[in-house]
Structure 1
Amino acid sequence: MLDLITSPALKPKHGFFTRKGGASSGIFAGLNCGAGSSDQADIVAINRQRVAEAMAVPLDHLIGLHQVHSPDVLAVTGPLAIRPQADAMVTATKGVALSILTADCQPVLFADANADVIGAAHAGWRGAKDGVLEATLAAMEALGAQRQNIAAVIGPCISQAAYEVGPEFFESFTDDDPETRRFFAQGSGDRLRFDLPSYGLWRLRAAGVGQAEWTGHCTYSDPERFYSYRRTTHAGEADYGRLISVIRL
């Protein structure tokens, strides 16, 4: 059985899929949808097909990107021959499902139910800092959405308790905007803990989005449901699975 998290804030069909219900095994056990992982390609294809069926779209209408931690947004109208380099997508086309892969970064799903415009963004610390969330809102407006009518939901991602960073990371934020100090708490020694989802919510609300929320799920702390790049790194494992988050009109 597939296990997906939804939010009442988003009216279109959507889901933040967990790792449950997939065909992968070993360290990838579950619903690994990352073609860039070292998992077997045919098994990843089975997992993606299960997601497409759950979203009631053909597999070629489950659109994905070659994510590179950028602020770049792509407007989509149908299936793509290749996966372009970008970290967010928007569409006003019925039957197109926008998908984002994550393993600690923020998956963010957007919808203006009045205008029938949706978006999806991969927002790690770098992408969020460089403006991928604001760029997604602007791209949705270009398709007829109104910012005050857009709901944005951040799905499962790493929480502050699990996200320890160094002083240079802290300085890269506070040098740009001293107000970002609020998203850091003291860790061990000179380390600090960064609150990624609160930072994402702050950026979204400052940009004038109508509604913004986080589902409250930490990828690092729940290995039964979520993949986590940082947890894999700490465990010394060779690779990690990727979670998929999807929205469609």
Structure 2
Amino acid sequence: MSQVEVTRARALGHVAHGFLGRRGGVSTGMLAGLNVGSGSADDPALIAENRRRAREAVLPGARLVTLFQIHSADAVAVIEPFEERLRPRADALATDRPGLALGILTADCAPVLLADAEAGVVGAAHAGWKGALGGVTDSTIALMETLGAKRERIAAAIGPCIARASYEVDDAFFRRFAEVDPANERFFADGKTDHYQFDLEAYVAHRLAAAGIRTVETLGLDTYSDESRFYSFRRATHRGEPDYGRQIAIIGIS
């Protein structure tokens, strides 16, 4: 049995956390590995085992909490795990309760883990382009503050996501960002005619810094190009594959 691969960020110090990929799971076929996505066509029993392995690799004995992610800027406070059928439709979580493992699922979008270790408050956000532009990280930080975190103490890390070299977008996409703030043009490199290469990771890091987060770490891991380690929605789409897996990022208070 292969070991679950956990990537940790120096910025988050001793806070229990990890960015996981596809290594160390029990799913097979095109979803082979640590697929935790209940929205995939994978066997629910395999997904459950993968989720158990992921949780135990990061915060043994904790209760895993996830959302019904919708590419929004909505964040919810967590007191206890949600029933599966009652999961909130949102894209970020925060808690001050020990023993909860906050989980964010991705397959190219940016997972963001945040912590104020002194206050004992953690957060996790799913930042695809739509949520990032809409302010999902701002919502997460604000929610953490209501739980006792101080903005100037919060550290953040951005995990595996699609890299600029792999993320081709059209002119309409570019204009969405430029219309919000002309300075956003710096996150786009010229591509083929009427297309650009978008740096999602850098944009999310910018939003965190603009919100007053002093410590922001980017891991620089490309989900699209590293098939052996990560699932990628865009890679599966380009290949015409009927399904794709999801990886998870987890943070919690031990």
- Asked if Structure 1 and Structure 2 have the same fold, meaning a TM-score greater than 0.5 normalized by the shorter chain, the answer is yes
Off by >2 Å, runs of 4+ in structure 1: 55-59
Aligned partners of 2:167, 2:146: CA distance in 1, in Å? 35
Match of 2:67 in 1: 65
- Kept in 2, the 8 Å contact 1:57–1:96? The answer is no
Give the secondary structure class of the aligned counterpart of 1:85. Answer: coil
Match of 2:180 in 1: 176
- Kept in 2, the 8 Å contact 1:103–1:242? The answer is yes
Number of residues paired by the alignment? Answer: 248
Residues 17-47 of structure 1: CA distance to partner in whole angstroms, max 9, x if unpaired? 1100100000100000001111111110110
Give the secondary structure class of the aligned counterpart of 1:175. Answer: helix
1:140 aligns to 2:144 (yes or no): yes
1:117 aligns to 2:121 (yes or no): yes
Residues 148-189 of structure 1: CA distance to partner in whole angstroms, max 9, x if unpaired? 100010000000000000000001110111000000011111
Aligned partners of 2:35, 2:97: CA distance in 1, in Å? 27
Moved more, 49-58 or 228-237: 49-58
1:24 aligns to 2:31 (yes or no): no
1:128 aligns to 2:135 (yes or no): no
- Kept in 2, the 8 Å contact 1:103–1:157? The answer is yes
Q: State which of 81, 99, 104 in structure 2 corresponds to 1:79.
A: 81
Q: State which of 41, 46, 50 in structure 2 corresponds to 1:43.
A: 46
- Kept in 2, the 8 Å contact 1:108–1:121? The answer is yes
How big is the shift at 1:8? 1.4
Q: Which runs of 5+ in 2 are unaligned?
A: none
Residues 66-123 of structure 1: CA distance to partner in whole angstroms, max 9, x if unpaired? 0000000010011212211010000000111100000000000000011110000000
- Kept in 2, the 8 Å contact 1:147–1:209? The answer is yes
- Kept in 2, the 8 Å contact 1:109–1:246? The answer is yes
Match of 1:14 in 2: 17
Residue identity over aligned pairs, in percent, reads: 52
- Kept in 2, the 8 Å contact 1:20–1:30? The answer is yes
Q: Which runs of 5+ in 1 are unaligned?
A: none
Moved more, 174-183 or 79-88: 79-88
Q: What is the TM-score normalised by the length of structure 2?
A: 0.96
Give the secondary structure class of the aligned counterpart of 2:123. Answer: strand
1:33 aligns to 2:42 (yes or no): no
Match of 2:161 in 1: 157
How big is the shift at 1:3? 0.4
Match of 1:192 in 2: 196
How big is the shift at 1:190? 1.2
Residue type at the aligned position of 1:50: R
Match of 1:55 in 2: 58
How big is the shift at 1:52? 2.1
Aligned partners of 1:28, 1:111: CA distance in 2, in Å? 31
- Kept in 2, the 8 Å contact 1:108–1:120? The answer is yes
Residues 205-226 of structure 1: CA distance to partner in whole angstroms, max 9, x if unpaired? 0000121121110000100000
Residue type at the aligned position of 1:62: L
Match of 1:103 in 2: 107
Residue type at the aligned position of 2:73: P
How big is the shift at 1:55? 2.8
Give the secondary structure class of the aligned counterpart of 2:180. Answer: coil
Aligned partners of 1:135, 1:57: CA distance in 2, in Å? 28
Residue type at the aligned position of 2:218: W
Aligned partners of 2:59, 2:7: CA distance in 1, in Å? 17
Give the secondary structure class of the aligned counterpart of 2:201. Answer: helix
How big is the shift at 1:57? 4.2
Q: What is the TM-score normalised by the length of structure 1?
A: 0.98
